[in-house]
Structure 1
Amino acid sequence: MPDSPVLIVGAGPTGLTLALTLQRHGIEARVIDKLERPADLSKALAVWPASLEVLASLGMHDAFSQSATPLRSVTFGDGAKRLARVDMGEGIDSAYPQPILLPQSKTEHILHEQYVASGGRVERGVELVSLDEDGDAVTVTLRDAHGHEETTRVAWLVGADGARSTVRHALGIEFEGYTEPALFLLGDVHIDGGDLDRHSIHIWWHNGGTVALFPFEHDVWRIIVEREGSPQTAGDDSSADTPATLEELQQAMDRHGPPGTRLSQPAWLSSFRTNERLAVRYRGARVFLAGDAAHIHTPAGGQGMNTGIQDAFNLGWKLAYVLQNRGDAQTLLDSYEAERRPVGIQVIDHASRLMHMGMSRSALVRFVRDLAVTVLDHMPALQMRLRTEMSETDITYRTGPLLALAGDSRHFARGLPGTRARDVHWTDAADGTARTLWPSLSPALHTLVTFGEADDIAARAAPHTDAVQIVRLPGTGEHAERYGFEAPGFVLIRPDQVVALRGSAQDGFILDRYLERVVRMGSAPAA
């Protein structure tokens, strides 16, 4: 028998989200991290609405919102001229439409505090040395900070150990992609002057260069700029060995950024090249990759950490079901890569386009960019598209064994199988109380929402009350329209807030099939 149900390698946002999700199913994972103490660098900053939905379901929305800077807009400019401003929370179809800015170190702190408060523990200074999969478990060798080694067996292992993932290397999984030749400078600094809105990201270009500014805590800003003289094609570059300085960043701001700004008190100065890489597969037999271990990309769009959090939330309930001997293990576990790897491709492509457009030195690209952004300021539909892409609320699963159980679903509008669930508002007929759906969703349960007279549908789910909760709504009203119902019907929402099924009151057979393959206890031998 394995010594632990799940070993999570890496205690960053991805690993901790996975550990918290498993906890909600009553499963205590073993979590290790080779760092002896949490990283104190800001790293990722943005937390987008889809991730806030995840964090809220794990009980942490207030902790995040109280610690963060609301991100109200993205402002584009050229020299002294503002080109466009896009309001980021407006019109986002989410229970938590307002994105926030928070240093990754604080995100990790909040996640860690929640995990420990719920009885979890992170073993720090412990690294994975080797792993060996067999049919029943994974044998791993671990080494602590004192050099002591331990060999143990775990049922499942998840590599959430970053871009240089030891787990990915141990599996021999290729990390396909490339490294951008351009060298970028990064600084977390105080900025005075410039009339900068502290609730806005500022993307500014002038004199052939671009500066990106991200606000967080007090008067501290993250500044990213391409180093002057940085190569545009692959090759040797001696400037990579030259440390970034505050003076160099100030020169870049003076040349390319909003006028009248003064930088001071640097907390972090660094230089970096961006990578765009994707693991060719997300799993071995009993080992999975999540977060940066599976995909990395440029920081444009700020979606790397968010994508890892959502990887973990997707995988967590599926691993839990398998460990509980619930559903069909192959159906559940094969769906992880089928759903999440296409998302990795999409996010990498989106970030690459943003980076190349925003940082290009080409005169033609700069002309087209200025024109496009000026048009953006007068086109609400284009602004809405940008907001939605950034929020990640439009991510859709189009393939995989779970989606196949939904039947024919060639359309992927919100509220249909494979898309994120939509919040709805209604008035409780019993007491007149105004209610919303989102607080009822649970990371440990499927939620069957019936609209109108759908007693037969509810009765089919009743034997599975340990895994399915039922929410009964009136058959008419805005809440029904949100899911496209004009007659009695139902939607089944997965624990990761994705619509699993949608059907009429006569479509009980698809619910039966799903419950048999995914939910029923003992429907397949325990993996």
Structure 2
Amino acid sequence: MSLSQKNTDVLIVGAGPVGLSLAYELHRHGVSCRIIDQKMAPSETSRALGVFNRTLEVFERMGIAQEITAKTQPVHFLNVYARGEHLMQVSFESRAFETPFTYPVFCPQTHVEEVLRNRLATDIHVEWGVTLEAFEQDATGVTVQLRDTRGDTSELRVSWLAGCDGGHSKVRKDLHLPFTGNSSETWLIADVELDWSLAKDSVYGFFSPLGTVMAYPFPEGKRWRLLNTAAREQTDPASVAQQFTHAIASVYHEEPVHVPEPLWTSVFTIQQRHVPMMRVGHCFVLGDAAHVHSPASGQGMNTGIQDAFNLAWKLALVARNVAEESLLDSYTAERTPIATTVLRGAKGFTLAIGNPTLTMQYVRNIIMKSFFLLKPLRSVLNGQVSKVLSGLSLSYKQSQIVTEDWRVEGINTRNMGGLLSGERLPDIHYGFDNTARLYNLLHSTDHTVLLFAGLQSDETDLLRIRELAEYSAQQQKWLRPVLIAPNPESYDSLKEWSGTTTCILDQYGTLHHRFGAEKQTLYLIRPDGYIGYRNQPATPGNFESYAKHVLGIRATVLV
């Protein structure tokens, strides 16, 4: 056994979309890492297909959204057929959440992985055919034992170990983390070249007494992913094609449908499981290593990528000695409830499309038809489906690193409550022609502090905002300030003083109104796009107290 002396902050086990996302984010944050995978080469088949709205926002923050969406299929609707008729249509539109990505897109998981590998290629290469044999952690790090394809072993010392190694995770098992939950139905999925007239901007559900079939479009050609909730024992290509053809034809009568023999098939038992904690000392579990669920709602890859996005900035602050290690406790505290919520949603979708009795199928179809025919109910259903699938409504309001010092002095005549701590920051449009994007003000890897002069600002308020900007400018290792003025006079005053600090004019006070900034106001936006802290009336003392005692920022980061 050889001992590797290479200084590496993080070892990532698993080079799927979650491990690659974590590696890319850590690299952007200036943290060294290695990524290994026991497979000999990247996968050529894809279980995951859907990329939902919140994940697209994450990709935009990572700087890869355009590369991802260049080879995707936008999906606007879910259309359901039953009893030979069109039962309902659900819209996936998410405009109410103020996002640049109002619809999900579909693409193979392999495409996401390829984009991430290409971005990493100049600095970090996946070490294929390398297996994690064992690891042992202590108070300062983790010692890991690796084995390559020749059987040679090596020992590596790292500060942190991240298990992105899937549902059968060795990292999770060796940490003795319970994987609580259950197994339920056995389903069949297949990729086929399907020649029919149905538009590719929709997911289709065929609610047949023979079992529900779901159809998901690939971006290229006539390729579709089919899912059958009633898998038969015969899984040879001809039998699989026959199963899908009969199930679809039994409820969809608008054209003859012939499903050809599949290009790829997989039979699997649905697992609904999760761990009680996602961090143990210097080790973490992410993605399927921490939570697995039904593919009915398509949330697996999305939730795992968002795990990585949540962990990366925290791990970077600790690895760079900017924040105390206690900050990492918030990873479990924030992501475990999200995993539970996603599992609950996936279970609901599974029950909706699963294999109920004929009586329950009849009741289900009547309810769905009613929601579609009655416009008020249809609007409620569209909103609920979008809320569950998009990921845009998830928040961290209960997190231990999310808080506020919020007190409105006097009478707030506009009754502006502002955006709440823990919420996802919406991409508000503002300015003269309402085309300027709030997201363009956010720093790509650091926290961004939005400093509002206030709609009723006077010279005293402007002075306080300057003091806050000066304090923020000293925190260059983790923070970037943005000054926001409500009128040309205050803008000119702040701009003359601001130097290199970003200063914008909030034409018509759009941002001030949305953030409840009657007087001088501070909002701290985390690197993952959530509101970590808000303060009104804003003072350097309040902000410094939050940074030190809640977020765990070390006082020595002042420059």
Q: Same fold (TM over 0.5)?
A: yes
Q: Deviations over 1:82-119 (max 9, x none)?
A: 222222134242122221000111111111111214x2
Q: List gaps (5 residues or longer) in structure 1.
A: 230-238
1:97 counterpart (91, 99, 102): 102
* Residues 304, 41 of structure 1: alpha-carbon distance in 2 compared, 3 angstrom cutoff: same
In structure 2, what residue type is equivalent to 1:479? L
Does 2:478 correspond to 1:461? Answer: no
- Contact 1:210 1:257 (8 Å CA) reproduced: no
1:264 corresponds in structure 2 to: 260
Matches within 5 A, 1:284-363: 284-330=280-326, 332-363=327-358
The one-letter code of the counterpart of 2:315 is L
1:406 paired residue among 394, 404, 407? 404
SS at match of 1:7: strand
Does the residue aligned with 1:112 lie in a helix, a strand or coil?
helix
**Letter of the structure 1 residue corresponding to residue 287 of structure 2:** G
| Structure 1 contact 206–257 (Cα < 8 Å) conserved | no
User: 1:478-497 CA deviation, whole Å, 9 max, x = no partner?
Assistant: 33333344443221100111
Task: Determine if the alignment matches structure 1 residue 188 to structure 2 residue 191.
Answer: yes
What residue is the counterpart of 1:494 in the other structure?
526
Opposite residue 293 of structure 2, the aligned amino acid is H
Pairwise mapping of residues 364-403 of structure 1 onto structure 2 (< 5 A)?
A: 364-377=359-372, 378=375, 379-403=378-402
Q: Give the whole-Å Cα distance in 2 for the aligned partners of 1:277 and 1:483.
A: 39
Structure 1 SS opposite 2:295: coil
Name the residue aligned to 1:109.
114
Give SS of 2:339's match. helix
* Residue 473 (structure 1) aligned to one of 477, 484, 487: 484
User: Aligned equivalents of 1:358 and 1:245: distance in 2?
Assistant: 19
User: What does the per-residue CA deviation read over 1:142-169, in whole Å, with 9 as the maximum and x for residues that have no partner?
Assistant: 0111111111111000000000001011
CA–CA separation in structure 1 for the residues paired with 2:252 and 2:453 = 57
Q: CA deviation at 1:310?
A: 0.3
Q: Structure 1 residue 80: deviation in Å? A: 3.2
CA contact (8 A) 1:187 1:269 kept: yes
1:190–1:128 distance in 2 versus 1, CA, 3 Å: same
Choose which of 212, 220, 223 in structure 1 pairs with 2:223.
220
Q: Distance in 1 between matches of 2:261 and 2:210?
A: 27
Question: Which residue of structure 2 lines up, in the alignment, with residue 235 of structure 1?
Answer: none
Alpha-carbon separation, structure 1, partners of 2:100 and 2:127: 35
C-alpha distance in 2 between matches for 1:40 and 1:450: 48
Counterpart AA for 1:445: D
Query: Structure 2 vs 1, CA of residues 522 and 166 (structure 1 numbering), >3 Å: closer, same or farther?
Result: farther
Distance in 2 separating the partners of 1:41 and 1:209: 25
Distance, in Å, in 2 between the alignment partners of 1:384 and 1:215 is 23
1:434–1:227 Cα change, 3 Å: closer
The 1:154–1:345 alpha-carbon spacing in structure 2 relative to 1, beyond 3 Å, is same
Q: Deviations over 1:404-462 (max 9, x none)?
A: x43689xxx9931112111122227xxx9952121332341001112234334323322
1:121 matches 2:117: no
Shifted more, 365-374 versus 210-219: the winner is: 365-374
Shift of 1:44: 0.6
The alpha carbon displacement at 1:242 in A equals: 7.2
2:32 paired residue among 28, 33, 38? 28
Residue 45 of structure 2 corresponds to: 41
Q: Is the 8 A contact 2:211 2:230 kept in 1?
A: no
Structure whose CA Rg is larger: 2
1:146 counterpart = 2:150: yes
Q: 1:399 corresponds to which letter in structure 2?
A: Q
SS state at 1:109 partner = helix
- Opposite residue 333 of structure 2, the aligned amino acid is A
Among candidates 496, 502, 515, match of residue 483 of structure 1? 515
Q: Distance in 2 between matches of 1:210 and 1:276?
A: 19
1:236 match: none
Task: Give the partner amino acid of 2:311.
Answer: L
Aligned to 2:242: 247
What's the secondary structure of 1:360's corresponding residue? coil
CA distance in 2, matches of 1:408, 1:354: 39
Secondary structure at 2:301's aligned position in 1?
A: helix
Report the CA distance between 1:389 and its aligned residue: 1.5
Counterpart of 1:232?
none
Name the residue aligned to 1:234. Answer: none
For 2:168, the aligned partner's letter is R
Name the residue aligned to 2:460: none
| Alignment partner, residue 175 of structure 1 | 179
Q: Which amino acid aligns with 2:391?
A: E
What is the identity, as a one-letter code, of the residue corresponding to 1:40? Answer: E
Are the counterparts in 2 of residues 2 and 137 from structure 1 also a CA contact under 8 Å? no
Cα displacement (A) at 1:306:
0.3
- Cα deviation for residue 508 of structure 1 reads 4.3
Distance 1:314 1:375, change over 3 A: same
How far, CA to CA, are the matches of 1:387 and 1:433 in structure 2?
Answer: 25
2:499 aligns to what?
none
Counterpart AA for 1:375: S
Distance 1:446 1:306 in 2: 23
Distance 1:372 1:507 in 2: 54
- What is residue 233 of structure 1 aligned with on the other side? none
Q: Secondary structure at the match of 1:263?
A: coil
Q: How many angstroms apart in 2 are the aligned matches of 1:103 and 1:414? A: 39
Q: Please give the secondary structure, in 2, of the residue aligned with 1:188.
A: strand
* CA-based RMSD: 2.4
**Residue 223 of structure 1, CA deviation:** 0.6
How far apart, CA to CA, are the structure 2 residues paired with 1:197 and 1:488?
51
Amino acid at match of 1:97: T
Give the aligned partner of residue 157 of structure 1. 161
State how far apart, in whole Å, the 1-side matches of 2:406 and 2:245 are: 57
Q: Which amino acid aligns with 1:169?
A: K
Deviation of 1:258 (Å)? 6.2
TM-score by length of 2: 0.85
Q: CA offset at residue 509 of structure 1?
A: 3.8
- Tell me, yes or no, if the aligned pair for 1:452 and 1:487 is still in contact at 8 Å: yes
CA contact (8 A) 1:185 1:249 kept: no
Shift of 1:257: 5.1
C-alpha contact 1:327 1:523 (8 A) present in aligned 2? no
Match of 2:441 in 1: 440
Structure 1: distance between partners of 2:350 and 2:521 = 44
How many residues in Structure 1 have an aligned counterpart in Structure 2?
504
Q: Distance in 2 between matches of 1:317 and 1:154?
A: 18
Aligned residue among 128, 131, 135 for 1:131: 135
8 A Cα contact 2:418 2:517, kept in partner:
no
- Distance change in 2, residues 1:133/1:228 (3 Å): closer
Bigger mean CA offset, 107-116 vs 483-492: 483-492
Give 1:108's aligned amino acid. E
Give the Å deviation of 1:71: 1.1
Letter in 2 for 1:293: A
Per-residue CA distance 1:279-309 (angstroms, 9 max, x = gap): 1221211000000000000001111100000
